[in-house]
């Protein structure tokens, strides 16, 4: 890791409160078609807005999405609905134990589909398959069970598949493999990242790999052959994805430790893996406020390229950034946070060219961590530091 920083500064292009009530948090952003983004917020709403202007689209505010005493929206994702000939479907999940599907063209503001977890378990993770029609949700631990639940939106009356034994605490992350769409990753506050072959209904047989890392805040695939894990206390590691079709000895993980002193920031939000490169998104809400995107390069091995960090001076001030979206087409970065605003940012012309250059450093199909030992299935009951992270970062849980 380079310790000499040479920041590429980003400049604000636009900002918007999305007409939210005062004091609202914006939790998360996701894609909505080719020209819009969707946001969920602490007022329990779903809002779609134009990427250029950040103006809320007509008839695109869905209020009271997950009502009830224990309600509140938790997650959002775009649905691959090519089987229905539309790009306008957005899925949300809530603490009421439901997943709802919304058609952003529907002026009635009613969900077009609602499915529910057993025992109304609050849903804390959500993803949609790159293949059409599959939605997957992960739940909190309820009655000693945390579930990964699959629905086919063409026949949603009953889940088509459930895994209920692989985690023993709240599920916080779900992600499909970028090319092997039958392979799913899940992460949990029990400290584990699990990899499943979802064509197998028997849970023990479906479990391909287990990584024991610590209470999972974010996890996912880097390219085709690596997995990253970020804990609630900012510890980061990269592991090989074990190909079940090969018997080769797999390399050991790369351990980065606590990223806060490495990046000289207060908190880490997520890892962005796109066509323009891979970045670790982190921020500083104390003293001189800023937000950074630090390139994660993969050659000759995975490493943080701190010397080429992109910096957003000021960012969202003293408030925490909750979610980041990188638009590869317009080369625009969108952030949202606890100040109740969405902001868009762009590099200057020189920085824009560097986006193209960084794409050659993104994790490739042949890239994996380097060393000499294998990753084995291993289970842990360590809950990690979820609550500690919330207190340190000023988070108000959903």
CA dihedral 177, 183, 184, 190 (to 10 degrees): -110
Residue 93: which CATH number? Answer: 2.130.10.10
The two tokens of residue 298 are 């993969």
pLDDT digits (tens, 9 = 90+) for 246-261: 665 667 899 999 999 9
Q: How far apart are CA 333 and CA 350, in angstroms?
A: 16
User: In which band, very low, low, confident or very high, does the pLDDT at 105 lie, cut at 50, 70 and 90?
Assistant: confident
For residues 29 and 336, the answer to whether their CB atoms sit within 8 Å is yes
pLDDT of residue 383: 37
Q: Domain of residue 170: give its range.
A: 64-263+374-393
pLDDT digits (tens, 9 = 90+) for 196-208: 999 999 999 999 9
pLDDT more than 90, % of the chain = 71
pLDDT surpasses 50 at 131: yes
Report if residue 293 sits inside a domain.
no
Interval 144-164 mean pLDDT: 95
When the pLDDT of each residue in the chain is averaged and rounded to a whole number, the result is 86
For residues 112 and 156, the answer to whether their CB atoms sit within 8 Å is no
Report if residue 44 sits inside a domain.
no
pLDDT surpasses 50 at 366: no
Report if residue 202 sits inside a domain.
yes
Q: Are strands 216-222 and 226-231 parallel, antiparallel or unpaired?
A: antiparallel
**CA 126 to centroid of chain Cα atoms:** 9
pLDDT digits (tens, 9 = 90+) for 16-48: 999 999 999 999 999 998 899 999 999 999 999
Q: What is the pTM of this model?
A: 0.86
- List beta partners, residue 274: 277
Strand stretches in 287-385, DSSP E:
290-297, 303-304, 310-313, 321-327, 332-337, 342-347
Interval 225-230 mean pLDDT: 96
Interval 150-162 mean pLDDT: 94
For residues 165 and 190, the answer to whether their CB atoms sit within 8 Å is no
Residue showing tokens 């002193």:
261
pLDDT surpasses 90 at 264: yes
Report if residue 177 sits inside a domain.
yes
pLDDT surpasses 50 at 384: no
Is 375 or 350 the better-scoring residue by pLDDT? 350
pLDDT of residue 244: 66
pLDDT of residue 375: 39
Q: Give me the helices (H) in the chain, please.
A: 203-206, 259-263, 349-358, 386-393
* Among the ranges given (49-58, 97-106, 161-170, 352-361), the one the predictor scored with the smallest mean pLDDT: 352-361
Report if residue 327 sits inside a domain.
no
Report if residue 297 sits inside a domain.
no
Total structural domains in the chain? 1
Report if residue 360 sits inside a domain.
no
Report if residue 110 sits inside a domain.
yes
**Cis-peptide into 300, omega within 30 deg:** yes
pLDDT digits (tens, 9 = 90+) for 273-321: 877 789 999 999 888 899 999 999 998 899 999 999 999 999 999 999 9
Interval 354-376 mean pLDDT: 41
User: In which band, very low, low, confident or very high, does the pLDDT at 329 lie, cut at 50, 70 and 90?
Assistant: confident
Report the greatest alpha carbon distance in the chain. Answer: 58
pLDDT surpasses 90 at 389: no
pLDDT of residue 277: 87
pLDDT of residue 56: 97
For residues 99 and 46, the answer to whether their CB atoms sit within 8 Å is no
User: In which band, very low, low, confident or very high, does the pLDDT at 86 lie, cut at 50, 70 and 90?
Assistant: low
Q: How far apart are CA 232 and CA 75, in angstroms?
A: 18
pLDDT digits (tens, 9 = 90+) for 330-353: 889 999 999 999 999 998 665 555
């Amino acid at each position: 890791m380079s310790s000499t920083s040479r920041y590429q500064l980003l400049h604000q292009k636009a900002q918007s409160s999305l007409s939210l009530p005062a004091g609202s948090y914006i939790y998360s952003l996701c894609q909505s078609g080719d020209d819009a983004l969707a946001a969920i917020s602490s007022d329990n709403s779903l809002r779609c807005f134009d990427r250029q202007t950040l103006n809320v689209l007509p008839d695109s505010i869905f209020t009271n999405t997950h009502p009830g005493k224990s309600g509140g929206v938790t997650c959002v994702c775009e649905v691959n609905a090519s089987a229905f000939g539309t790009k306008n479907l957005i899925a949300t999940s809530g603490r009421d134990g439901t997943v709802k599907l919304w058609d952003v063209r529907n002026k009635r503001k009613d969900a077009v589909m609602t499915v529910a977890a057993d025992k109304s378990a609050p849903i804390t993770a959500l993803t949609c398959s790159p293949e059409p029609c599959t939605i997957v949700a992960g739940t909190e631990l309820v009655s000693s069970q945390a579930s990964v639940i699959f629905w086919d939106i063409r026949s949603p009356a009953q889940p088509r598949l459930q895994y209920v034994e692989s985690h023993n605490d709240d599920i916080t992350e779900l992600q499909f493999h970028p090319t092997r769409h039958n392979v799913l990753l899940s992460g949990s506050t029990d400290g584990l990242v699990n990899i499943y072959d979802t064509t197998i209904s028997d849970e023990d047989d479906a479990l391909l790999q287990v990584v024991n890392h610590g209470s999972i805040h974010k996890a996912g695939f880097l390219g085709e052959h690596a997995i990253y894990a970020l804990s609630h206390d900012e510890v980061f590691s990269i592991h090989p994805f074990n190909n079940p079709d090969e018997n080769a000895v797999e390399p050991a993980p790369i351990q980065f430790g606590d990223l806060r002193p490495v990046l000289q920031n207060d908190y880490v939000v997520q890892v962005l893996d796109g066509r323009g490169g891979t970045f670790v998104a982190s921020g500083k809400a104390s003293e001189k406020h800023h937000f950074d995107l630090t390139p994660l390069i993969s050659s000759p091995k995975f490493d943080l390229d701190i010397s080429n960090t992109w910096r957003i001076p000021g960012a969202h001030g003293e408030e925490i950034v909750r979610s980041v979206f990188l638009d590869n087409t317009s080369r625009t970065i969108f952030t949202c946070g606890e100040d109740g605003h969405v902001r868009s940012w762009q590099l200057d012309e020189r920085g824009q060219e560097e986006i193209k250059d960084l794409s050659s450093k993104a994790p490739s199909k042949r890239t994996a961590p380097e060393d000499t030992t294998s990753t084995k299935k291993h289970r842990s009951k360590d809950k990690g530091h979820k609550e500690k992270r919330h207190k340190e970062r000023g988070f108000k849980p959903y």
